[in-house]
Amino acid sequence: MKIILRAAIVGFLIALIVPAGAVSPPTPSQKHPCHDDAFRFCREDIPDHAKIHACLIRHVEQLSPACRDIIGHR
């Protein structure tokens, strides 16, 4: 009985310490802010990274703010 109680307490403490988002893998758009914009504007250029980058630059005014920040700094 003590082992079960101890395991329950440890599980509870871990749940308090580890944020819920840390357990699930990130979505593609969380991995890279330009993911959705690349599929929206540059689908025909995928998987060529150089063409995708050039396409995103052409559409810079239409990009999401997070993607625009990345593209604008390159």
**Residue 36 domain-assigned (yes or no):** yes
Letter for the amino acid at 50? A
How many separate domains does the chain show? 1
- Inside any domain, residue 73: yes
Tokens at 43, concatenated:
């689908």
What is the tens place of the pLDDT at every residue in 11-34? 444 444 445 544 556 565 557 889
**pLDDT score of 32:** 85
Residue 67: domain span? 25-74
Q: Is residue 39 part of a domain?
A: yes
Query: Is residue 16 a part of any domain in this protein?
Result: no
What's the gap between Cα 26 and its chain centre?
5
pLDDT in tens, 29-72: 557 889 999 999 999 999 999 999 999 999 999 999 999 998 87
Domain presence at residue 20: no
